[in-house]
Chain A
């Protein structure tokens, strides 16, 4: 049904009109300031308009369609922050063949208009990681001005594209116009309930998405706000073609698998195998992979530049340098030589982009991993700070394209070992005779992502970061601490056994944990677990809850009660907050309690988060668990003479 309509439409519109919309689209001749609501006048800046037009133009004389993109924005700036946010403009030249026009003007509070001098547009070539740009500073901006920018660029034909519509300031009118004429196309909007509607622009078939009063995306904790911005993706197929999403996935999958599953092993790679396995042919698959991962990360560098040879296996083996795609080929070759079954995973950093398995766009094919189905573990080839284990937290929970030698599937990247990341701390506390000094003897064991992070810092980071880690691992919240001892074990980044704990032993003393209160002593016992973050929510929660990774903490705190004293105020040590899933399983909790044994007070705490994703509508329950640790941090007990 739908198809027939399109076909009819197609017949109608293909007969005339090569008029390109961007050539007629313009800003108003005599601009006036837009009226602002009281609320809009009270923020640093507010968008009056953001209009983005993507127009594919096809005529039979050119082999490929031409893509024009027009961006038109009007922003009111109310204060210094607003001015600083909007008075410089960067236009990316990625895929741009030709700049059709760039215009900008300012309308100040008195209505005076200042037009951008075209001579002041600067060109910046090959900016690290981003390509070329046209940049300019907006002229004539004062508080209360409106800044209007309008530009059109002609780009190389590309079947896909995307545009982020939401920003960190409110925008009152947002419009995305997608003009494709006779070409078959597809578009989708994310993080909004509004859908594209079909329309006709300059006699050409088009889709449009209109949104009013788009709120700013706010930075929230336990969230991926950048990836959750309202945005659109689109596809526009070559003339006469209609392509399904499956065809796209198959194409990528075939393309990659043909390069990643070699039938013959490169002789240079084969020669490395003994250096990799160190003759441990009978070692477990995990151990072999760990040895391989260590070998590559101690001998190869990932290089970010435009050198195409960096994905050529011979070049990689000779220069020990690879692009982040090229390094996959290297791993694939070695794994094949070792006879280990693997899959290539293509995904995105979930903080930047939510991978959509139902709509293909190359924009989300940004990151690569290798999956080992027999171990249910991942290698992160371009992450020198990681070694084989669970997927790095940035990919966890995102979908990925898993490519096998003979096919592919789309699946969520999840953590197979629920207890991967644990912190176990045993803290023994004693006091000197006159209650001046508290000594903390702390034994800590960290596994999973924590262990990986600490090892990476010790190996890779500059001195200042290592100092910060040391400070964190030695009673972090105690401001006046003296560190008497600090040592670590299992600190080598090149581990070969699965999930060995990183061990830190420290001893610190403090004179501020105990307070003389008349003839008694108040002891800030909660502070020994370190400063705990407190989650705020002044406004309605915007983003779904996402943690870095599932994790668990176990504490055993033993306080030696000084002779001749008893202890009071223990009630504040009992805390129990939890969050149950729909089946009644506790998926996160903070629970603390105590026992008294002779002259010892023993406090046990268990805090865990079994999942890295929680229901946004149950944010308050999640927050109460997170904040319970912060409550415990404030617990104090009193020693009084018997």
Chain B
């Protein structure tokens, strides 16, 4: 599973309007889009005229001359006109070579997306590049979005939409509170024209550990709500009901041949099971275990799941294919289940605000068993039955009930106690070598994350090296032996890891005292936020608890000289508690740590850093033993 980055709804400390771009290397002088919508015989003709003009203020980043315009089977790109203008010499050098290309994408095996590529000639300090082209939008559901800001500053960004008077348009702005957005409506006998303009807007570049860029980038989504013809209103995407109707019309096109094959599997998998809960779990696990994720994006095929029988035969599919297969299998064994659309956490829109396909990018199945609503996402091969995949928590799920009816329900955030790591360690000192036996039990997303990383990121590393680099226990000289893994599966039983550690160069003996730090696990110690440079909020993948019980056996001939005081940091959303105690020759450290938030907003940075600093200091505390 991908580690995804974080969030931010409200950020204020940022100045996003500026007049002074003199420290920039490259800026857009203008970025404009003119959308013209016309309607004839219930058919829309939609074109976007795009104009971009950019200036090289230095010659540092000439690579910005590489231009790519992407399109798929829902759009075409026409009339590309591009040239570089050199003010010094008043020269105009046209682009005379444009290539059509494809790319391989890690996440999508086959996609119909192509791009028109070219490189602006003769760019250097002072050069101004000019691009204009026409994009024909073939389906009125895909009007797209317009970004007022982009990766570098823009002096003038403008979106215009011209549409017939009998057409009704919807629009919604995002993150525009801190920019000076001008909006004008014009109309004549035939059409209405809406224009949004913003001047001198800063650049937006992504940050590690933050939410997806659209969480903070000012942008607008425009969509066609409806049109009137002969006194009748025809809805396109007036609201989520229309979106659902359209989705439903697409799933009606699913190939339902040979479903008996699918039913046979469902029957076989659930043969000896009686409760609906058990049956649903068995079917979910079967799909997780037997259908491999391979994604295709090919025209409307990107929206219509492939037939469940074909998916079973091929043993592969993408999210919608798995969702539809689950839907068929579950309903067949008498479990109420629905096809469900939703956006992952990097799409932060609501169905009620954005009734267009921009709102979602994922499909799952929802099962209702007694009063429980269970979200089933088999694209996550390791998530236990009953938990949604981590990356859809908090998102609205559009649950398709039947041709007319749907429900929108929020996918609940999973509480910390469902994703727990419980660590039991015993420490012994052998000369200067610290020997540790440790057992680690992981549940929920903690388990999912470990198994996913082990399965897909271990590469050609040995188990020892993988454990050393991912758990980072003690120091980077720690040796791992007797590594065991139990319950390495998608079940709800905890994953149990156990191993022995030899940690050299760790315990420090100075004079007759030996210093031993029991915090060999330094979870979160690298999570401080650099407030000065940080722009956007921190994203956290899931809530979790970590519980450590560590015992240290004081060697013969030694006595305890010093035990650190108990330490804690308590915030409702994050904190820790560490205690030390001694009984006879045994020292016990109990440590608990919790994070119960999915994001740390900018106004929380100081508090979060206070937590991390306090934790780092607590991690630094050693026990001291002394030779008798």
The yes or no answer to A198 lying at the interface (CB within 8 A) is no
Given the known interface contacts A460-B61, A479-B526, the answer about A127 and B97 at a Cβ–Cβ threshold of 8 Å is: no
Asked if A241 lies at the interface with its beta carbon under 8 angstroms from chain B, I say no
Pair B99/A114 contact, Cβ less than 8 Å: no
Interface presence of B89 (CB below 8 A): no
**A534 pairs with B515, CB closer than 8 A:** no
In the complex, B506 has a CB within 8 A of chain A: yes
A479 and B528 form a contact (CB under 8 A): yes
A219 within 8 A of B: yes
Write the A453-485 contact mask toward B (1 if CB under 8 angstroms, else 0).
000000110111001001100000001100100
Of A305, A463, A634, the residue contacting B205 (CB under 8 A) is: A463
Q: Is A63 an interface residue (CB 8 A)?
A: no
Measured in the bound complex, the distance between the Cα atoms of B567 and A335 in whole Å is 68
Give min CB distance, B141 to chain A, whole Å: 25
Query: Is the Cβ of A83 less than 8 Å from the Cβ of B313?
Result: no
Whether B190 is near chain A, meaning CB under 8 Å from some CB there, is no
Residue of B nearest to A122 (CB): B110
A79 at the interface (CB under 8 A from B): yes
The CA-CA distance from A88 to B110 in the complex, in Å, is 10
Partner of A80, one of B119, B122, B381: B381
**Minimum CB distance partner of A90 in chain B:** B104
A124 part of interface (Cβ distance < 8 Å)? yes
Docked-complex contact B123 and A307, CB < 8 angstroms: no
The segment from B47-55, B254-262, B590-598, B617-625 found at the interface with A is B617-625
Interfacial chain B residues near A568, Cβ < 8 Å: 510-511
A464 touches B207 (CB 8 A): yes
A137, B314: Cβ atoms under 8 Å?
yes
Question: For the complex, is A172 an interface residue (Cβ under 8 Å from B)?
Answer: no
Distance in angstroms between the alpha carbons of A480 and B208 in the assembled complex: 18
The answer to whether A305 and B117 touch (CB under 8 A), given A88-B109, A471-B530, A480-B612, is yes
Is there contact, CB below 8 Å, between B316 and A137? yes
Chain A nearest CB from B306 CB (Å) reads 11
Residues from chain A with a CB closer than 8 A to the CB of B624 are 517-518
Q: Is the CB of B622 within 8 A of A515?
A: yes
Question: A569 to B622, alpha carbons, bound, how many Å?
Answer: 16
Confirm or deny: B101 has a beta carbon within 8 angstroms of a beta carbon on chain A: yes
B475 near A634 with CB under 8 A, answer yes
Across the interface, A301 reaches (CB within 8 A) one of B62, B125, B465, B476, namely B62
Q: Are B125 and A298 in contact (CB under 8 A)?
A: yes
Q: Are A83 and B292 in contact (CB under 8 A)?
A: yes
The CA of A634 and the CA of B478, in the complex, are separated in Å by 12
Query: In chain A between 99 and 119, which residues have their CB closer than 8 angstroms to a CB of chain B?
Result: 114
Whether A358 sits at the interface, judged by CB under 8 Å, is no
Q: Smallest CB–CB gap between A317 and chain B, Å?
A: 10
In angstroms, Cα B101 to Cα A292, docked, is: 34
Question: Known: A512-B616, A515-B622. Contact between A305 and B530, CB under 8 A?
Answer: no
Are A126 and B525 in contact (CB-based, < 8 A)?
Answer: no
Is A407 at the interface (CB under 8 A from chain B)? Answer: no
Contact, CB under 8 Å: B102 / A301: no
Answer whether residue A533 sits at the interface, using C-beta atoms and an 8 A cutoff: yes
State in angstroms the CA–CA spacing of A143 and B525 once bound together: 39
> Would you call A320 and B123 a contact (CB within 8 A)?
yes
**Which A residue sits closest to B115, measured CB to CB?**
A128
Q: Are B101 and A127 in contact (CB under 8 A)?
A: yes
The one of A125, A318, A512, A518 in contact with B561, judged by C-beta atoms closer than 8 angstroms, is A518
Beta-carbon contact of A483 and B207 below 8 Å: no
Please indicate the chain B residues that have their CB under 8 angstroms from the CB of A138 in the complex: 316
Question: Are A305 and B99 closer than 8 Å at their CB atoms?
Answer: yes
Nearest B-chain residue to A124, judged by Cβ: B102
A-binding segment of B11-19, B362-370, B452-460, B577-585: B452-460
Q: Measured between alpha carbons, how far is A637 from B294 in the docked complex, in Å? A: 55
Interface pair A141/B315, CB less than 8 Å apart: yes
CB nearest neighbor in B for A141: B315
Interface status of A243 (Cβ within 8 A of chain B): no
A218 within 8 A of B: yes
Cα–Cα, bound, A241→B383 (Å): 64
Q: Are B102 and A128 interface neighbours, CB within 8 A?
A: yes
Q: Is the CB of B63 within 8 A of A479?
A: no
Chain A residues with CB under 8 Å of B476's CB are 533-534, 630
Sample (27) of A-B pairs whose CB atoms are under 8 Å apart: A80-B381, A84-B292, A87-B292, A127-B101, A127-B102, A127-B104, A139-B313, A139-B314, A140-B315, A141-B316, A218-B460, A298-B59, A320-B122, A467-B533, A471-B530, A479-B526, A479-B616, A480-B612, A512-B620, A516-B621, A518-B624, A522-B508, A524-B620, A533-B476, A536-B468, A631-B505, A636-B508
Known pairs A127-B103, A480-B616, A517-B624 / 17 extra A-B pairs, C-beta < 8 Å? A87-B294, A90-B104, A125-B102, A126-B100, A137-B316, A138-B316, A168-B459, A301-B62, A318-B122, A319-B93, A319-B121, A460-B61, A483-B532, A518-B624, A534-B476, A569-B510, A637-B510
